[in-house]
Every structure is written in structure tokens, then in C-alpha cells.
Amino acid sequence: MRMTQWLVAACAALFVVAPLSAQKLTKEEKAKLPRVAIIEFKAAPDAWHGWRHGGWGNNMSTISNQLRDLLTTAMMETGRNKFRMVERERLAEIRGELAFQQSGEVDTATVQKVGKLLGVKYMITGKVTRFAYKESGLSGGWGLGALVGKVTGNSTAGAVAGDMKLKKASFTGRLDLRLIEVETGEVLGTWKDEGGVADTSVKIAGTGSEVEYDEELVNKVFEPIVERLAPKVVKGIVREAAEED
């Protein structure tokens, strides 16, 4: 009985260890994996809905880097040992050699040029097609300060209330992704997703009319979107690579 139990335990251990060892690839196997790069993210010309400036449009380059980092991490987590990802730093070197568009989506010809210089098989492009802002809640000002001062009979309290810059807002974003084969320029797959956050506090700049740029807010809106899109993109890469083998 004890020998039977030992054999069962040993077999079970083999089944547990086998998948882990199967995940290890040799250098030759890794070299055969398709190379992938994520190119510059852009914002559509009409992507900013409801904004009162605040510098958001001027931070598109920063937002692009955030989105690429989020997508790289999500894809590497779901597609381990299925492809090789080119680092953003290498892409930045190539970017400096080409004239990228400052707005709109990157054209296919540019994608092919970058892809060939990087030596990659597939390129992923992304575009922010919507980043909307809807304001609600309370903000300070002379009217509020006068009201508080009158009700409380305290001019100091009125002055403090007049300086309040508290607002609640909802933000929604939509991201579109494309998978492109570098050699042919063919679009192999397209994906889109959207989401948002509601009733979040925002920082008010200047006189209270502008919402300040906030990196954490970008992540809150787009990270769940990227996490849902990444497995779909990985599946598309694996499918295309398998069809060519």
C-alpha cells in the first residue's frame, strides 16, 4: 500500500514539474520566436472631449510612453515564450532617424520602415480615439465664499470657501490597436476597447477652469483597457506565426 501511494505521489510530482520545465526554451528556440515592437501611440485629432486644456494634449508623448509600457508588461505576462519584444529604448533610437507624425495615426509606410530597421516581424500600433472628461461637483469662487460668509457670519470661513477648488469628474477612454506584418504592410488584426472611471477627484489649475495633467489618472482609465486587449493581441501574433510555420 505504501509503495502504491509513493508511486502515485511521484507521478503527481512529475505532472507538476513537467509544465514548468516545458516553459524553458533553448537559445535556438528563442531565436525562432517572432520579434515584435510596439510603435508610437497617437491621439486622434478629435480624441479630447470635454477638456478645458490643462496641458493634456501637450502630454501626449508621455501618455504614449505610459500606454506602450502598460501594453508591453501585459503582453509579456500573457505571452511568455511566444514572442520576443523589442525594448522601447531601441525603438527610440530608430524613432530619431525618422520623421514621425505629430498627430493622427502612424502610416503603414512608416511602420514598415521602423520594423525593418528594428528587424522585427510584427509591429503593433495604437491610437487613443477618445479621452473624454465630464465635470461635476463643486468648485470654489466668489459666489460660494460670499454664501458661506453670510451663513456663518465668518468672513474668514467665506474666504477659505472662496479658494476651494474641489471637483468631481468622470473620465472615459478608448484605445484602438493594430497588428501589422512588417514585410507586407498587411494589417493582420485590429482590436478596440474602452472604459473609464467615475466620480474621481481632480486637480484644478489656475483659476479653477483647467484640470491638471495627472499620470495616475491615465493609468486608472487605460490600464484595465490594455489588460483586456493584450491577450487578444498575443493570440493574434501566435495565430499568424503558426500559419507561417
Cβ atoms of 169 and 211 closer than 8 Å: yes
Q: Over 80: is that where the pLDDT of 29 sits? A: yes
Question: What is the number of other CB atoms lying within 10 angstroms of the CB of residue 92?
Answer: 11
Question: What is the pLDDT of the chain when averaged over all its residues?
Answer: 75
- Give CA–CA dist 168/135, Å, rounded: 6
Q: Which residues pair with 170 in a beta bridge?
A: 134
Least confident of 53-57, 132-136, 178-182: 53-57
pTM of the model: 0.72
φ, ψ of residue 205 in degrees (nearest 5): -100, 160
Please report the pLDDT score of residue 70 as a whole number.
93
If you average pLDDT over residues 130-157, what whole number do you get? Answer: 57
pLDDT digits (tens, 9 = 90+) for 75-85: 999 998 899 99
pLDDT digits (tens, 9 = 90+) for 2-17: 555 544 454 544 444 4
Task: Please report the domains of the chain, with CATH numbers, ordered by start residue.
Answer: 28-244 (3.40.50.10610)
Please report the pLDDT score of residue 103 as a whole number.
43
